[in-house]
Structure 1
Amino acid sequence: MFTGLIEGQGCISRLQRQGRDARLAIDTRGLGYDDVAEGDSIAINGVCLTAIRPEPAGFEADVSAETLSLTTLGDLGQGDAVNLERSLTPSTRMGGHFVTGHVDGMARCVERRRDGGSWRFAFELPEGLSRYVARKGSIAIDGISLTVNAVSGPRFEVNIIPHTLERTNLDRCQVGSRVNIEIDLVARYLERLMGLDMRGPDGGLRMDLLAGNGKDSKG
Structure 2
Amino acid sequence: MFTGIVTAIGTIDNIEHKGDMHIRIACPYDPETMAIGASIACSGVCLTVVERGGEEGDAWFAVDVSNETVSCTAQDQWTTGRKLNLEQALKLGDELGGHLVTGHVDAVGRVAVAREEGGSIRIEILAPQSIAPYVAEKGSITIDGVSLTVNSVVDEDNGDVRFGLNIIPHTGEVTTLGALEQGDAVNLEIDVLARYLKRMESLRK
Q: Which residue of 1 aligns with 2:95?
A: 93
Question: What's the CA shift for 1:23?
Answer: 1.2
Question: What's the CA shift for 1:171?
Answer: 2.2
Q: Counterparts of 2:105 and 2:167 in 1: how far apart (Å)?
A: 21
- Partner secondary structure for residue 53 of structure 1: strand
Counterpart mapping for 1:5-84 below 5 A: 5-19=5-19, 21-28=20-27, 30-56=28-54, 57-73=59-75, 75-84=77-86
Q: Counterparts of 1:183 and 1:126 in 2: how far apart (Å)?
A: 12
User: Following TM superposition, where does structure 1 have runs of at least 4 consecutive aligned residues deviating by more than 4 angstroms?
Assistant: none
Q: Which residue of 1 aligns with 2:134?
A: 132
Q: Give the alignment's TM-score, normalised by structure 1.
A: 0.85
Counterpart mapping for 1:54-203 below 5 A: 54-56=52-54, 57-73=59-75, 75-153=77-155, 154-195=161-202
Determine which structure has the larger strand proportion and give its number. 2
String of CA shifts for 1:92-125, please: whole Å, max 9, x gaps: 1111000000110100000011111001100000
Q: Give the alignment's TM-score, normalised by structure 2.
A: 0.91
- Partner secondary structure for residue 124 of structure 1: strand
* Contiguous gaps of at least 5 residues in structure 1: 199-219
Task: Calculate percent identity across the aligned residue pairs.
Answer: 45
Residue pair 1:68, 1:74 contacting (<8 A) in 2 also = no
- The code of the aligned residue for 2:13 comes to S
Question: What's the CA shift for 1:128?
Answer: 1.4
Q: Which residue of 2 aligns with 1:206?
A: none
Question: What's the CA shift for 1:151?
Answer: 0.2
What's the Cα RMSD here? 1.6
Equivalent pairs, count: 196
* Contiguous gaps of at least 5 residues in structure 2: 156-160
Question: What's the CA shift for 1:196?
Answer: 5.9
Question: What's the CA shift for 1:91?
Answer: 2.3
- The code of the aligned residue for 2:94 comes to T
Residue pair 1:139, 1:145 contacting (<8 A) in 2 also = yes
Question: What's the CA shift for 1:75?
Answer: 3.7
Question: What's the CA shift for 1:39?
Answer: 0.4
Structure ID, larger Rg: 1
